[in-house]
Amino acid sequence: MLSETLQQAINDQIKSEMDSAYLYLAMSAYLEGVHLPGAARWMRVQSREETSHAMKLFDYVLDRGGRVVLQAIEQPPATFASMLDVFQQALGHERKVTGMIHRLYDLATKERDYATQVMLQWFITEQVEEEKSAGDIVEQLKVIGDQPAALLFFDKQLAAREAE
């Protein structure tokens, strides 16, 4: 069974994953509104992925005999400066989430909860992928700069992202 402290920390992470899903959905809505459907699709897929992360934690708490307590999620911003701004914020957000996962892992280690440490290994690996993906897009957008044709071509490439 999970300790009360670890259970609360995982419940907090469930909230954070849902906050992430909502943020990426807001980013998707913004990108649709500025006629970048490929990037909007990419963010919609990202939103669904974050929801699946929340559910993985949700199921884990229940599997360990714990209690899931859902919390209110934050209202995300509705506007952004540009597609580059969207992905820079997404990268910053993923870095924040990585720190949260690391703190959760540290807590599981401190409490000698080996099962939780093993489960969190998946999230640690996932965060490396999340940061790389967003970071690569940020760097490509920096190269594109203010070239509308290149931006539209890149937007079409982002539309090819497969749902996980």
- Pick from 42, 13, 59: nearest CA to 164: 42
Neighbours of 73 (CB within 10 A): 16
Look at residue 44 and tell me if it is in a domain. yes
Look at residue 93 and tell me if it is in a domain. yes
- Pick from 98, 99, 97, 95: nearest CA to 138: 95
Q: What is the pLDDT of residues 138-163, one digit of tens each?
A: 999 999 999 999 999 999 999 998 76
Reported pTM: 0.95
Cα separation, 99 vs 101, in Å, equals 5
Look at residue 163 and tell me if it is in a domain. no
| CATH at residue 78 | 1.20.1260.10
Look at residue 164 and tell me if it is in a domain. no
Helix residue ranges, H only, 34-162: 37-63, 83-110, 114-144, 148-158
Q: What is the pLDDT of residues 18-66, one digit of tens each?
A: 999 999 999 999 999 999 999 999 999 999 999 999 999 999 999 999 9
Look at residue 57 and tell me if it is in a domain. yes
Q: What is the pLDDT of residues 123-140, one digit of tens each?
A: 999 999 999 999 999 999
Look at residue 43 and tell me if it is in a domain. yes
Look at residue 142 and tell me if it is in a domain. yes
What number is the average pLDDT over the span 109-132? 98
How many domains would you assign to the chain? 1
Look at residue 35 and tell me if it is in a domain. yes
Residues spanned by the domain of 149: 4-158
